[in-house]
Amino acid sequence: MIEDKELKKQEIKNRIIDTSDLEEDTPRSRRRQNADIFTQGRRVVILLLVLVGIIILGLAFQNRFKTHTKFKLKWMHELSEGSLVDYISLGNGFLKYSKDGAVYLKKNGKNVWVDSYEMSNPKTNTNGRYAIVFDVGSKQIVSYTKEGKAASIDTELPIIKAIVSKSGVVTALVEESKSTDIVFFDNEGKKLDITVKSKLSGDGFPTDIAISPDGTALLAAFQYLKGSSMMGRVVFYDFSEIGKNMPNRVVGGFDEEFVSSMVARVKYLDKINSVAIASDGLYFFSSKNIASPKLVKTIKAENDIEAVAFEGDRLCVVYKNTSEKFNHTLYIYSKTGSVLLKKEFAGDFNKLDMQKGYIYMTKNDNAIIMNTSGVIKYSGSLDVNIHKIVKSGFLSGFTVLGDNDFRGIVLK
């Protein structure tokens, strides 16, 4: 009997299901396991991304201070036949312009669209998403975006210079026999009811104009005779409600600062800050108070100013250097006139450009490529007549725009 009882107990015990193993295989448990695996995988991915980021930053830092003596041609795209004056950057490509038309090209040199016109002396200006081509001495202006022609403008008088704002407003400086006018057109080419008149006998001859990013303010430089001396003048105009009640829209004028000096360039660095580049130095202005612009800093030129270039709110100036070792001194200034970089260097150039952390000084087939840390990355021939150089690719890759082709190079 006892043995039977023990057998029945054992049989009952065997029938009891051990749920400990089953608990580990429930849907909730499986989800927990999957979550743990996912968390571990995510940590591995994050760690790998951090390591890749560190490697990339290390390579970029190392490359920033590395110099090169050679280059390797990686690719070349021949351009379709056609005349050429020069290239300007527009959108994520380039506008190739000539006397008989403009072509928009991708970064690799392939055509996107073509537009025809007839001009004798085409010049350009670009700002943000807009670029214009205008005919100096004639009456034609064409405005473009990367999508194509934005507006076609005919002025009533011959053009001296034309500029475009980031909003697409076009400003043209035109001349009569005894006076000059500054006229405005909206981004569709319609003439606006705004005109600034200047008499040559009193106000002088305008040497340059600049428009604010939003197109509501204008900065103009003049030269005029006082006795037998040539004097400079800088004038601020406002076309918003603030300047509406001002005579001829003038909200500020500066004469005494430019006695016996020539003001060659003016430029808005942003909506508030602007600069005038004169023969004797740089003059930084603030229009924080729109009704009363202020001269906030003057930097007298060490030597003759050879070239200037702009990128965003920064200004690059190359001065002549008379030392035995160097023949140029390059400065980069902030929008308020602070020195961001000073670099002495030797070489020969006739064109200066600054884009995306690099400064390009070129002449014929020779180039000096410098980064904004003052490191000369390359100096020498690139085996092609250079119109423009832009950064491309990773680390030391560049695209060179030539007469008949685009070339991708890597500095070695």
Q: Which residues pair with 154 in a beta bridge?
A: 140
83: closest CA among 101, 69, 61, 59? 101
pTM: 0.84
Q: Which two tokens stand for residue 342?
A: 């000073």
Based on the fold, state whether residues 232 and 288 are members of the same structural domain: yes
Where helices occur in 100-217 by DSSP H, the ranges are: none
Based on the fold, state whether residues 122 and 160 are members of the same structural domain: yes
As a whole number of Å, the CA-based R_g of the chain is 32
Contact 173, 161 (CB under 8 A): yes
The answer to the question of residue 190 being in a domain is yes
Based on the fold, state whether residues 225 and 169 are members of the same structural domain: no
**Structure confidence at residue 22 (pLDDT):** 46
Fill in the DSSP letter of residue 242: T
Distance CA 274, CA 20 (A): 78
Torsion of CA 175, 178, 184, 190, to 10 degrees: -80
pLDDT tens by residue, 39-96: 776 777 777 776 666 655 665 555 667 899 999 999 999 998 778 999 999 999 999 9
Based on the fold, state whether residues 178 and 234 are members of the same structural domain: no
Fill in the DSSP letter of residue 83: -
Based on the fold, state whether residues 212 and 277 are members of the same structural domain: yes
**Strand order through the sheet with 130-135:** 122-127, 130-135, 140-145, 148-154
Which of these three, 173, 199, 225, is where a domain ends?
199
> Which residues of the chain fall short of a pLDDT of 50?
19, 22
The answer to the question of residue 376 being in a domain is no
Distance CA 316, CA 265 (A): 13
The answer to the question of residue 166 being in a domain is yes
Where helices occur in 237-339 by DSSP H, the ranges are: none
Q: What CATH number does residue 174 fall under?
A: 2.40.10.480
Based on the fold, state whether residues 167 and 251 are members of the same structural domain: no
Residue with tokens 């612009």: 293
Based on the fold, state whether residues 172 and 209 are members of the same structural domain: no
State the total domains in the chain. Answer: 2
DSSP E strands in 117-178: the ranges are 122-127, 130-135, 140-145, 148-154, 159-164, 170-175
pLDDT tens by residue, 313-368: 999 999 999 999 999 999 999 999 999 999 999 999 999 999 999 999 999 999 99
Distance CA 274, CA 287 (A): 8
84: closest CA among 109, 64, 66? 109
Based on the fold, state whether residues 185 and 151 are members of the same structural domain: yes
Q: What count of Cα atoms within 13 Å lies in the side-chain half-sphere of residue 205?
A: 11
Based on the fold, state whether residues 154 and 240 are members of the same structural domain: no
Q: Which two tokens stand for residue 1?
A: 């009997």
Distance CA 393, CA 410 (A): 9
Q: Which domain holds residue 236?
A: 200-301
Fill in the DSSP letter of residue 247: G
Distance CA 265, CA 385 (A): 28
Torsion of CA 182, 176, 100, 185, to 10 degrees: 20
**Structure confidence at residue 24 (pLDDT):** 52
161: closest CA among 97, 96, 207, 197? 207
Which of these three, 262, 280, 301, is where a domain ends?
301
Q: DSSP secondary structure string, 320-344?
A: E--SSS-SEEEEEE-TTS-EEEEEE
Based on the fold, state whether residues 295 and 204 are members of the same structural domain: yes
Q: Which two tokens stand for residue 374?
A: 């003052």
The answer to the question of residue 183 being in a domain is yes
The answer to the question of residue 12 being in a domain is no
The answer to the question of residue 149 being in a domain is yes
Based on the fold, state whether residues 172 and 132 are members of the same structural domain: yes
Distance CA 346, CA 266 (A): 28
The answer to the question of residue 106 being in a domain is no
Which of these three, 158, 177, 199, is where a domain ends?
199
Q: Which two tokens stand for residue 200?
A: 């040559």
The answer to the question of residue 99 being in a domain is no
